[in-house]
A and B are shown apart, each in its own frame.
Chain A
Amino acid sequence: MNASFGLGAETLSRSLAAATPLLLGTLGEITAERSGVLNLGVEGMMAAGAVAGFSAAHATGSPWIGLAAAIGAGAALALVHAFFSVTLKANQIVCGIALTMLGLGISGVWGRAFVGTPLACRFQAVLWSRDPVFYLAVVLTAALSWLLFRTRWGVAVRSVGENPLAADAAGLPVDRIRILCTAFGGAMAGMAGGYLSLVYIPSWIEGMTAGRGWIVIGLTIFAGWKPWKAFAGALLFGGIDVSQYLFQDHCSPNFLKMLPYAATLLALLASGRSLHGASAPPAALAVPYRKGER
């Protein structure tokens, strides 16, 4: 009885930890995509955040400074994406994939010095022996949901992503809003990466993002671009991630490793798509807006 309770609590705890980076990344991607910018560079921004977070925390001994560095690294890469895809109107898919490769490459080089170095500093648990970043992610979920659907900013962001021409005619600075949302998305991806190297596996391992950036992009669609559904989706995927350890005695490890990715595919198939429905993508997603064109 006691042992199984312990196992249950352990599983929940691990699931929440696995869910946190997915949730952070998805909240960011939801914001960027709601404004009409598809950012496929999440994986790269996560990796950059992970290595920046680790190196800053290692150097200063403060996980908070590490987290700030992770956020900064993600946002900086996202600004590159915004410059090419929003300012220069480049193809967002190509640009995003290029940034994933760039982020993975940079982090690999930068992180070479830290391979095998354990992280000396940790976040102090705040409540129920959980790290503060998890609670931050929950607060951000609520805040983002409120901002997107209950405030003037939300109307502006969603309008820019639905019909930039109409938003422009209403006097909104379309490109500026998109750049800010993209930067926020990158900052969140960076924070997700920082969580991986500061909390989840407190060390730096090359390739430690392990495709989580891509799962985030899938989760964004699965969540129908809604923060609370992203929360539920991240918990679900966190649970799937942890189930690898639960079933490792009964199942081939190769099959278990495949689970999160297979689940992403299934989730995407299940979420389906309609043009006007509640879970339809933003109408102007990945379409650059060129002012004054006939």
Chain B
Amino acid sequence: MKHLELRGIRKEFGGVPANDGIDLSVRSGEIAALLGENGAGKTTLMNILYGLYRPDAGEILVDGRPAAIRSPKDAIRLGIGMVHQHFLLIGRHTAAENVALGLEGVPFVRPERWAARRMEEFAARYGLRVRPEAPVWLLSAGQQQRLELIKALIRGARLLILDEPTSVLTDAEADELFAVLRRMTAEGMSVIFITHKLEEVMRLSHAITVLRRGRVAGTASTAETTPEALASLMTGLEPVAPAARAQRAPGPEVLRVEGLTVAGDMGVPAVSELAFSVRSGEVLGVAGVSGNGQSELAEALTGLRRPERGSIRISGTEAAGRDCRALRALGVRHVPEERPRFGVVGDMSVAENAVLTRYHEPPFCRRGMLDAAEMRRRAESLIACYGIRPPSPEARAGTLSGGNIQKLILGREADGKPALIVAVHPTYGLDVGATEFVRERLLEKRAEGAAVLLISEDLEEVLRLSDRVAVMFEGRFLDVRENRGLDRRELMLLMGGGQPA
């Protein structure tokens, strides 16, 4: 029997469809995996199902009946529970207070005592144990997730949506979670499991729906499919473009990383014991699904995040733990991810942004005074060289399109003779023209002798630009290979944490 059916779901954000005609069905007692790359529309779809977004078109059927879900409250009433990737818990409150929050039927006085008693029941039944009086901010990620599960179950969830549930868990915690989920489905509950990790899908799910760019790329029964087939569905098999890279012998070593361990925001190591090097005139491409330590690696290399331990040598100088400005002086440049947030100051002009990393030094600053004319001249030269539109140094950077913001950042960072360029998702969200432009500039810098560390989820891009390719998974490089005759599907498997054949 079908527990849930979605028909023709469509949702646009600013004219761009995040979901486009999606059909999905889940049978009772089934673990259904929703698989796809980042930005494929998985989370949007589940937020629609949970009433956080309204769909522009399409219908939702629960237990065969059409359901109007306008708010999470409606979803809860229909027995739908969701555990978000970023937990929706109140850090200062206790676990029991979080359970009591917004719960129907709790007593008016001392609701947390009542919640604590209910928590005991679920601890016994599913092995979901969390101390009721513990403040949430003191709980580990795994415990917080358990608390989210308890919250959903106490609200009577019969269909659980889990968004990337293992991304914050250790292996042991993930195994525990899987055991709990199996116990739940054995009692007739259904689970939708959002992930991009192929190995988990094969291990846990019964049925799989693959999303790609907001559409259903295919569905499969887990028993009848292979990780390879799923990888093809996720990316879409397009022929690999011939590498435009000129072959050239790399120069001396510019970056050497040894034993690098970097903690993520949650305190667990995001990068563990990493060791690699990049040479002058070489592009090292780091492929991998976001959230496997790439951001933390880039931040450590550019001075934004202090590594726990390990060594980062730039042209022989130890640079671990130095700040951004010191690293810049060593020739490190950064083309950051989330460019509107980390790359430019949106409320400042193009001219001000053009000198953002150098405003304190001549010729832009003399005796503590900024030289507006010099900044303007600098911006005009960037605008001319990089074709930034609109061609106005006074324009607010935040009003520029994504492609033009990236041109501005690239112009600022690639200026002069950089020793190392750390480029993170440099073409993410850009149109074809801007993408080409950015890639050509990176290859140009490589030809001029810069070492380039390219971090990207776009396998196509990594294969086209890199001299060597590393696959990053859970804070480590699974493999570093020369970029010659690499099999895309095998890399895809590695990105999902699978073992090489």
Fill in one digit per residue for B472-492: 1 if any A CB lies within 8 Å of its CB, else 0. Answer: 000000000000000000000
What are 12 inter-chain pairs, A to B, with CB distance below 8 A? A155-B112, A156-B101, A159-B93, A159-B102, A162-B90, A163-B91, A167-B101, A170-B101, A171-B73, A172-B101, A172-B102, A276-B92
CB distance from A193 to the nearest CB of B (A): 32
Dominant SS at the A interface?
helix
Residues of chain A within 8 A of B103, CB atoms compared:
170
Dominant SS at the B interface?
loop
A168 to B97, CA, bound (A): 15
Closest B residue, CB atoms, query A292 = B53
A153 at interface, CB cutoff 8 A: yes
By the criterion CB–CB under 8 Å, are B91 and A169 in contact?
no
Residues of chain B within 8 A of A158, CB atoms compared:
90, 92-93
Closest A residue, CB atoms, query B43 = A294
A151 at interface, CB cutoff 8 A: yes
CB distance from A54 to the nearest CB of B (A): 38
B162 at interface, CB cutoff 8 A: no
A190 to B306, CA, bound (A): 51
User: For residues 132 through 161 of chain A, which have their beta carbon under 8 Å from a beta carbon of chain B?
Assistant: 150-153, 155-156, 158-159
CB distance from A161 to the nearest CB of B (A): 9
Q: A152-B107, A155-B100 are in contact. Are A166 and B92 (CB under 8 A)?
A: no
A280 at interface, CB cutoff 8 A: yes
Closest B residue, CB atoms, query A276 = B137
Fill in one digit per residue for A166-190: 1 if any B CB lies within 8 Å of its CB, else 0. Answer: 1111111000000000000000000
A165 at interface, CB cutoff 8 A: yes
A93 at interface, CB cutoff 8 A: no
A283 at interface, CB cutoff 8 A: yes
By the criterion CB–CB under 8 Å, are B72 and A170 in contact?
yes
CB distance from A59 to the nearest CB of B (A): 40
Fill in one digit per residue for B69-110: 1 if any A CB lies within 8 Å of its CB, else 0. Answer: 001110010000010100011111100010011110011111
Residues of chain B within 8 A of A153, CB atoms compared:
108
CB distance from B149 to the nearest CB of A (A): 14
A166 to B101, CA, bound (A): 9
CB distance from A144 to the nearest CB of B (A): 15
By the criterion CB–CB under 8 Å, are B13 and A283 in contact?
no
By the criterion CB–CB under 8 Å, are B72 and A152 in contact?
no
By the criterion CB–CB under 8 Å, are A152 and B111 in contact?
yes
CB distance from B446 to the nearest CB of A (A): 35
Q: A152-B106, A155-B93, A159-B93 are in contact. Are A169 and B88 (CB under 8 A)?
A: yes
By the criterion CB–CB under 8 Å, are B92 and A162 in contact?
yes
A276 to B92, CA, bound (A): 6
Specify which of A150, A162, A171 is in contact with B109 (CB 8 Å cutoff).
Answer: A150
Q: A153-B108, A292-B52 are in contact. Are A167 and B92 (CB under 8 A)?
A: no
Given contact pairs A167-B90, A276-B137, enumerate 14 new A-B contacts (beta carbons under 8 Å): A151-B109, A152-B109, A155-B100, A155-B111, A158-B90, A159-B90, A162-B93, A167-B101, A169-B82, A170-B102, A170-B151, A171-B72, A172-B101, A283-B91
Specify which of B52, B73, B90 is in contact with A163 (CB 8 Å cutoff).
Answer: B90
A280 to B13, CA, bound (A): 36
Residues of chain B within 8 A of A155, CB atoms compared:
93, 97, 100-101, 111-112
